Structure formats: structure tokens, C-alpha cells
Amino acid sequence: MSSPVSGLRAALACAAALLLAGTLSGCSNGSSHPSRPETSAPESSAPPAPRPDAAAYRRWGLDGPLAPPPVPPSTRLTATVKPGEAPQIVRRVRTADKIVFLTFDDGAEKDPEFVKMAEDLKLPFTMFLTDSIARSGSGYGYFDRLRAAGPAPGNAVQNHTLTHPNLRTLSAEAQRKEICGQQDILEKRFGSRPVLFRPPYGNYNDQTLAAAGGCGVRAVVLWEATMQINDMRYAEGGGLRPGDIVLAHFRGPSELKGTTMTQMVTNMLRSIQKQGYTVARLEDYV
Ligand SMILES: [Zn+2]
């Protein structure tokens, strides 16, 4: 792992991580005017980053490149949520574009091949991490390279509680500890406070929203499609719809009946591609 290529990769990953930390902490200060374009300004003057070549996609089992995602809107959905207010609830992003958003939950499997795949394909996705699960094995360090792997400014780590409880069974105070405790841990570890929260099992109540809003969450993110081992399941209809949020997990062969995480992701990307969609970054929209 000490080849010149991996050294260069590490340097690039480090640069991207710094860029990410600066960008995300800059947009979580809560002082932004609702109409201020939060994401497009710094990137509009820079030349677009090169897309992965067709060979990279073929290396990971795809027939050809995923289409480049469209330019995201100048205002994010959460731009109107003021600090401390109840967060927005997002199941699906309102868009006419044929894009979907990948999300990976919990943080159990730490497959180094998935890091290579994400870097090779510059894959945009969101990671919803649970402290008690993500901390296992090589710990949070695994997610640093995954943050840097996405297109600039990188992929974000977001909140999925401290211990993955069914929040509806907990008191308001216990919910606050689960959500705000993980906000603090992720902010300390990654340098920016999460703005998105996903409740375990999709279970929440009014106390969840109050607790999340109170510690800086701007949107509660649910999902419309779920990736299994080979196929996706849809909340409505038999296929993807524009703006669908896709739920997947950091899982390996023991949870996937022998299938690796990268094979599962290949299956997911092939399905997305076959349905005429491409992937975009959730934080550019929400
Ligand atoms: Zn989970």
C-alpha cells in the first residue's frame, strides 16, 4: 500500500477531506439567507472535474459510464429551515431529472474494495452512521477515504444515532441523547456538524423531530427504494422515480449471503443505469 499511486491517492484524499470540512462547516452556520445559493457559487468558477472513464466503469462490472448528473439547483430544500426549527421530512427529492440518491447506513462492513470502487467511480453518496456500529473494526477512519472519494466537495457523513434504537420507544430525553450525542461525536471526528438525520427503521415521532431540530438537524431523510442483495424494492410502483432516495447498507458477505459489498453496489448501479437514471449527491439538493 506504499506505491506512488496510493501515495498520490492519499494526498488527493487529504486535500478533498480538507475541502469538504471547510465547505460543510461553512454551510452549517445557520446564518444563510433562504435565497442564497449555498452550493453553486464556489464551484461555478472552477472547471468541472473529469469524469471517470468508461474503463473504470467496466472494471466494476458496468457496461458503460453513468451519465453525469445535471447542475443542482441553486437553493437547497433546507435553506429555509432556521436553526432549532423542526427539520424537513424528506422521502424523495422533488425533481424532474432522472437522478437518484444513494445512501449507505450503519457502518458495519468496512470493505477496502468498496473504497477503491468509490474512488474509481467518484461515486456520490451519503453515509448515515451509527456510533456503536461504525466504531467497530477499523472504526471511523474507514469513512475518511469514502468522504474524499465523491466528486468535490466530497461525500458527507450524517447522523444515524448512537446505538440504533427504535426511537418511538424512547422518552424525549433519551431520544435527545441518541441524536445529539451522535451529532457531537461526528462533528468532533469529521469537523462538521451533520445537517441530515435518518432514524433507525424509519421510526420517529414528534419528539424525534424536536430533539433533532434542537441539535442542528435540518432534514430527516427517509427513502423510497431499498437495495437488497441483487434487486431493489420500491415503496411505490415497480421502478425508480426521479428524485428517489435509495437505502443501502454497509454490509458484507455474512449479511449478503456471500455477496460482497462491491458486488451489491454493482448490482444497484446496473439497475439504476438500466432504468435510465444516474446518481447525484443528496446534499446538493437537501
Ligand atoms: Zn440503520
Let me know: does 224 contact 92? Beta carbons within 8 Å.
yes
- Cα 109–Cα 102–Cα 189 angle in degrees, nearest 5: 55
Determine contact, residues 234/253, Cβ cutoff 8 Å.
no
Q: Quick one: pLDDT at residue 82?
A: 86
Determine the distance separating the centroid of ligand 1 and the alpha carbon of 161, expressed in angstroms. Answer: 9
- For the four alpha carbons of 107, 108, 112 and 116, in that order, the dihedral sign comes to negative
pLDDT at 244: 98
Between the CA of 198 and the centroid of ligand 1 the distance, in Å, is 8
Mind listing the pLDDT tens digit for each residue in 205-230? 999 999 999 999 999 999 999 999 99
Q: Cell for 190? A: 469529521
From ligand 1's centre to the CA of 106, what distance in Å? Answer: 5
Q: Specify the pLDDT at position 58.
A: 95
Residue 33 CA to ligand 1 centre (angstroms): 33
Cell representation of residue 112: 477496502
pLDDT in the model for residue 45 = 54
**How far is the C-alpha of 162 from the C-alpha of 232, rounded, in Å?**
28
CA of 7 to the centre of ligand 1 (A): 33
Q: Tens digit of pLDDT for each residue in 105-150?
A: 999 999 999 999 999 999 999 999 999 999 999 999 999 999 999 9
| Residue 55: domain span | 4-44+51-284
Distance in Å, CA 74 to ligand 1 centroid: 31
Give the domain CATH number at 176.
3.20.20.370
CA of 58 to the centre of ligand 1 (A): 31
For residue 188, how many C-alpha atoms fall within 13 Å in the half-sphere facing its CB? 7
| Residue 273 CA, ligand 1 centroid: distance in Å | 26
Q: Which residues of the chain have pLDDT under 70?
A: 1-48
Distance CA 123, CA 243 (A): 17
pLDDT one-digit tens code per residue, 12-23: 443 444 444 333
Q: What is the three-class DSSP state of 225?
A: strand
Query: What is the sign of the dihedral through the CA atoms of 260, 263, 268 and 269?
Result: positive
Residue 110 cell numbers, joined: 468496512
Number of domain units in the chain: 1
- For residue 164, the CA-to-ligand 1 centroid distance in Å is 6
